[in-house]
Each structure stands twice: as structure tokens, then as C-alpha cells.
Amino acid sequence: MGKEIERKFLLRSDAWRDEVRDSAHLIQGYLARSEQSAIRVRIKGTRAELNIMQTLDGIDRLEYEYEIPLSDAREILEHVALRPLIEKTRHRVVRGDHVWEIDEFDGENRGLIMAEIELADADEAFEKPAWIGEEVSLDPRYYNSNLIVSPYQTW
């Protein structure tokens, strides 16, 4: 069983851009979603995966990831996935012992930029860079699976 503890934040500024270590384009589509669980297919570069997730409390969640053939992922995204697809560029910034993943959304969610940090424990201390703004971990509008129902550009 995979467990992930993740906190999400909006950004105060673009100062994070000077610290980007690497970036990758992601495209993902949801096959099923509810308030508490989701099944998605994601392509990141030449790798594709199927993810099954259940949110426990907005920060803690169960997550299972399985690599699948890239050609299968492309077909699923084209023919099966709910619309709109989630397209984003993920930038990685290293601060201390943590990696911040900053998602810059495209398509119908263009304009949304969020930073995520994965923690070993929900109460784990971490350095908050000056460019980190409001925490939105418990706001369901910011869950990727909800951005297909209510894209950021419609808010």
C-alpha cells in the first residue's frame, strides 16, 4: 500500500523560477473520480502510469502507481479519459531535505500555479521559501481531479 502525505500552496511570486532544477511536461486524464477517490492515467516524458488514489483527509492519501505502456496511455487519454485533460509543466526546486514540485497548468487551467511538498509525516517541519503563499491543501477546488469538473479559468 502506498501512502502519500502532500501539502499544496499557492505562490506569492515568480522568484522560485531562479531555483528550478529541472522541468517536465505532464498530461493526465481521469478515468473515474469521486469526492474521495480517483483513477488517472499520466504521461510524463516517455513514461506512462496508471494511478489509483484515495484521499483520506486532503493531506494524507493512499496512492498506487503502475507503469503502463506509453502507447496504451496515449489511447486511454484520447478515447477514454474524462475531459478536459490536465496539462501542466512540473518544475522541481530543492530546498534543504525537501523537493518542491511546482505545477504550472496549461489548457483550461492556464494561470494556476501551485507548489506541492511531499512529507514523511503530516506534522513534519519544513522550510517555507519566501515565494510560498497561502496553503490550499484542504481546499478541494485545487485537487487535480476537481479541475476537470471546474477548471481554473471558470472560477
Catalytic residue numbers?
A: 30
Neighbours of 91 (CB within 10 A): 20
Which amino acid is it at 65? E
Angle at 113 between CA 52 and CA 135, to 5 degrees: 80
Are the C-beta atoms of 86 and 146 separated by less than 8 Å? no
Q: Which of 116, 66, 87, 77 lies closest to 24 in space, CA to CA?
A: 87
Q: Which of 43, 3, 2, 12 lies closest to 129 in space, CA to CA?
A: 12
